[in-house]
Structure 1
Amino acid sequence: MTYQAKLLPREKVFRDPVHNYIHVEHQVIMDLIDTREFQRLRRIKQLGTSAFTFHGAEHTRFTHSLGVYEIARRICDDFQRNYPSQHPGDGLWDDNERLVALCAALLHDIGHGPYSHTFERIFNTNHEAWTVKIITSPATEVNQVLRAIAPDFPEKVASVIQKTYPNPQVVQMISSQVDADRMDYLLRDAYNTGTKYGLFDVTRILRVLRPYQNGIVIQANGMHAVEDYIVCRFQMYQQVYFHPVSRGMEVILTHLLQRAKKLYEDKGSHHIQTPTLLVPFFEQNFGIEDYLRLDDGVLNTYFTYWRDNADDILRDLARRFQDRKPFKSIEYTKASAPKLEKMMALVESVGFDKNYYTAVNDSFDLPYDAYDPANNNTGIKPQIEVRQMDGTLNELSTLSPIVHALSERTTGDRRFYFPREMLHPKDLQIFAPIYQEFQSHVKNGALI
């Protein structure tokens, strides 16, 4: 179905540190940006607790979403200019798909909650499911804007997020191993963290993308630019996304919310300064309106109240989080993992509740995932296809020794988190033997 969208009288632009200008020509895109639900993304940090490690990482889901839209817009422009469809079914780009692709790119993260992934784990939410709800619910401004295009348009946009949209080119533009989402967050996160790992030649990659019947491929002469992109992604995960200090702050945040939830369940809201906006989540009875009221600022306000709470654990964790006192960590392996219970017991024996002051945290990522039909039930091929001059397709890792070295090689580590006092005790004379025993199991930042 062809969807008609009104053009703005004059193109509008957003000045952007990554893409220079973000160009908007459709009225529906401006209307979506102006909705309550999209403006809420200004109040949710893109990298959550990573801002405690990389002080420049204050950028938001709002700026990232605009960036994903801009990359998708540039892909659509390139496809329409260089690979326009000549007849139905030829596998080239049908520009009637532009509007649904751009709206999906803009809205792909609209369902993120405060402190995103930490919040999801505590309250059993899923940002992609909430993205679909916000897009399809008649109660939202986003839905009203989309329905003005056509009654079924919100469902079409949502199906791109769900990866069920019938055109694989549109789906892969937003969600694949070399998509608008990943390209923007790598560039944006590298810029704002001050690191250089995520810098790659996005202009070259966009130039060598092309549509085909089953999605999007890269041309063989652009393979090296994509190699660089894969390596950049690997480096960003190792040096930024998996940083042990950021994870230490995330552990405190997780335990802080868990403690507040337990106090509410055990004693009622008056014991935690009546966190009105969190009550529906403590009770697991919340709807879209409850969800949209939350952002990072709401949680931070409650944390300020909890700094003076009567509960020792809640008060202490709130102060540690706001004052940036991350838990320390050591790496452990499968061989040393049996010692974890002993280490937790030592932490508890000096007065810390092990349920709130210890944690194991595993962070692993697959830098590049080559398709394995035997282990894939979706039928969706996640790998990057390279198109040769004669039109044949080859999976990227079969052509690139660099990507092959990273292919299906999971990277990351397992860490045990605990209060820094275990390594730098204040009450040395009282608990000296316990501290000494704890430290005897630590060598070069690892559990031995």
Structure 2
Amino acid sequence: MFIWIYRVLFLPLWLLTLPSYVLHMRKRGGYRERFGTRFGKGMNVPEKKKGVRRIWIQAVSLGEMLAIEPLLKALSEEESIEIYLTVTTSTGYALAKEKYADLAVGISYFPVDFYFFSKCVWDQISPDVAICAETELWPEHIRQARNHGTPFVLVNGRLSDRSLRRASKIKGVFRSMLVDTTCVYACSEMDRERFIALGAAAERVKTTGNIKVDVMIEPILDVATRSTMRGELELGDGFVLLGSSTWPGEEEMLIKAYRAIREKDASAKLLIVPRHAERRHEIEAMLKVAAEDLRWHFKSRGAPEREIDILIADTHGELRALTQLADLAFVGKSLAPHTEGQTPVECGVLGKAMVFGTGMSNFRSIREGLIQHGAAREVSTEEEAVEALLELSQDSEARSRMGEGGRAWHSASRGAVARTVEGVMSWLDR
């Protein structure tokens, strides 16, 4: 009954929210290319090759597209498999075209989750298995999988504290989607228990681990390349503090920490990579007040033409490269009022000492592993964050030990991709 209520209510509610949706798209930009694929138009889906099975993988954004990279590459190595890839955001679409065009038989936008649009796309892609990542459960998409007799698999399944609270308020709705979900491959045992509590059948929820941990960062920059990039970006050859995927309020904290560090080291630089590049105007307004005496530059405006103190990398898909230029990182979305955190995986893989707040509920098991291996320092307040960043900026030996701890954590934690691929293949074989 729920799916019929959903179908009746979807279109008027979607039309009601359409103006804000269009405004958001204009703000982010880049949505015009292949926009019609959201409604099943211009898909250009190739016919299946004889003896080859097709997997439809959906990832929402640039972050999720990067997260599923190891799984995508592992599945594409199977000669009997072809992959069709869909995304939701324009930044995710741009990254998919740039990085994964050779791995997929097609790339387009995910359809609007209304019966006619979803069915149209399903009929064209006609997958043998459909995969979504993390918490992405779309009622019509899941029902179309059932109607087409196609296994629907949720990989890297996780439920943050906030997601669990929201799902618990509409537990019946969530359960109706989980009933039609063929299998959930959960990030951790805690996530597995949460999915079961919301209505998933226990025998269909497996703990496979977090595939984000299996990421292989390429390219790893050599010393000469890092030095050249630092020079081009006016970051110099001294200490660089990185704000990794920062959210509102955290940039101000980093400026406070940077001022304290500069009193000890006048050559130090601050590199801020905001989670959402479209916040550039908001960040610029803040800088005019909080850093009016400092020299700052936005990377999207080209190479700096003069010496700077702060670089704001308001670009997309460059965090992994820029992390390699830093000596110490603060992981964003982790200080109050934020509670979910951004991924600390890249810092761990690259052996970068890091500091983050207590709000890391999206990465609970990863956080615990990093702390246990001595790779990260957790702080509760802005004042503690400033103090920790200042202390570590002056202690290269401590940073080196933390970096080694990050690499050890990464080595000990891998394997989720292999377990997930094995699970997906089992559904194909059925």
TM range (shorter): under 0.3
TM-score (norm 1): 0.26
Query: Based on CA coordinates, which of the two structures has the bigger radius of gyration?
Result: 1
Higher relative contact order (CA 8 A, sep 6+): 1
